[in-house]
Amino acid sequence: MSRKDSKGLFANVLGQLENSAETGGMQRSTSPHLLKVAAGVRQMQERSELAERLLKDGGQIVEIDPDEIMESAIRDRFDSGYSEASIADLLESMREHGQSTPGLVRPVRGTAKPFQIVFGRRRLAAAKLLGIKFKTIARELSDEEAIVLQGEENSNRKDLSFIERCLFAQSQEAAGYRRDVICKSLSTGRSHISEMIRIAAALPRDILMQIGPAPEIGRRRWVEFELRWAAQREPSKVAHSVLERDQIQASSSDVRFAAVFEALAKVDAKAAASSATTDLISHGLVLGQIQRGKSASKLTFNKSVPSGFVDFIAGQIENLHDQFMQKQHSQQGD
């Protein structure tokens, strides 16, 4: 069996075990032997090809007290991913076998702690809970180098959900990183990054935190989620009414997403009636639409429009806005 196929098989086993745990059935239905297998599998998943590459480049493994390591400037995962329950199998594996793969930290100056984590936060959390030193490579890195390596590690493991990737991209932009850096950190193109940032910006952070990472929910359904959100007159009210239910709160993140997703499908008739759509036409071709709603307007491009053109328009927004404002001032002066 190839390494890629075995990773997929291990991921399926872990998914079944974690689903069992979320529904409270872990202790009743899962044998201690299977739990030990799961711990070993999780340790294998934590192995990092990127860490191996850094070692080959001359990096040295050192052991650092977890209390001397500060958090990364930009979070790439929901906080729930680092809880004791979420890393239980990794804890078990590291308790029995130690930390098999190092993380990566960078020295920082002028702060209360001398190091900052770049990647390996799950292993760092486990080391802290176990009261042991954290095995890591320490390397001088710029902010941009650190964020790219942080993203590359996640891309190699492919364990961030779509919405976590969206929030990671949005947080980088808010911190002032250039689009090319964000693209490198997530190993994807500008059009995808633009879409990710748009989705993250369109949905309230508190709602996303309550839904959670929704690991089984991909791009297509989150795009549809955003469209349903925009069509609702009071989407936050709808979402909160669903997420406040005890049964939903006790469910998995994917179930919470599905519950809100379905509730948003019931579009308010008044909200639908208050919107108007205008086609954007160039030389007889429909490039997209402008949808004017009661509270906001939305510009969308058709799939046939090249992503380069969308990026070009995005790059011209500031100039177009300046031209509009100059025209407004000129008219007011007349």
Judge whether 249 lies within some domain: yes
Q: What is the pLDDT of residue 101?
A: 83
155 and 46 together in one domain: yes
Q: Which domain holds residue 50?
A: 3-160
Question: How many angstroms separate the CA atoms of 54 and 47, rounded?
Answer: 13
92 and 133 together in one domain: yes
14 and 136 together in one domain: yes
Alpha helices in 47-178 (DSSP H): 49-56, 88-97, 121-130, 143-157, 162-174
48 and 120 together in one domain: yes
146 and 22 together in one domain: yes
83 and 131 together in one domain: yes
Question: How many angstroms separate the CA atoms of 229 and 194, rounded?
Answer: 18
Is the model more confident about 234 or about 333?
Answer: 234
> Model confidence over 234-244: pLDDT tens digits?
999 999 999 99
What is the average pLDDT value for the chain, to the nearest integer? Answer: 80
Q: What is the mean pLDDT of residues 221-239?
A: 93
120 and 73 together in one domain: yes
Confidence of residue 16 (pLDDT cuts 50, 70, 90): very low
Is the model more confident about 305 or about 10?
Answer: 305
SS (H, E, C) 253-303: HHHHHHHHHHHHCCCCHHHHHCCEEEEEEECCEEEEEEEECCCCEEEEECC
Nearest to 200 by CA among 211, 187, 189: 211
> Model confidence over 82-126: pLDDT tens digits?
778 778 888 888 998 898 888 899 999 888 899 999 988 889 999
Residue 317 has pLDDT above 80, yes or no: yes
* Strand bridging mode 69-70 / 276-282: unpaired
Nearest to 121 by CA among 46, 41, 36: 46
225 and 109 together in one domain: no
CATH for 83: 3.90.1530.10
Number of domains in the chain: 3
Residue 255 has pLDDT above 90, yes or no: yes
Confidence of residue 194 (pLDDT cuts 50, 70, 90): very high
This prediction has a pTM of 0.59
Among 241, 274, 307, identify where a domain stops. Answer: 274
Mention every residue, 6+ apart, whose C-beta is less than 8 A from residue 34.
17
104 and 252 together in one domain: no
Judge whether 181 lies within some domain: no
Judge whether 180 lies within some domain: no
Tokens in use for 312? Answer: 């070009």
107 and 10 together in one domain: yes
Mention every residue, 6+ apart, whose C-beta is less than 8 A from residue 199.
163, 166, 222, 223, 226
Confidence of residue 9 (pLDDT cuts 50, 70, 90): very low
Residue 254: other Cβ atoms inside 10 A = 18
Q: What is the mean pLDDT of residues 159-163?
A: 85
Question: How many angstroms separate the CA atoms of 205 and 180, rounded?
Answer: 24
Confidence of residue 35 (pLDDT cuts 50, 70, 90): low
Q: What is the pLDDT of residue 304?
A: 79
265 and 302 together in one domain: no
Nearest to 126 by CA among 151, 91, 155, 78: 91
- Residues of the chain above pLDDT 70, percent: 75
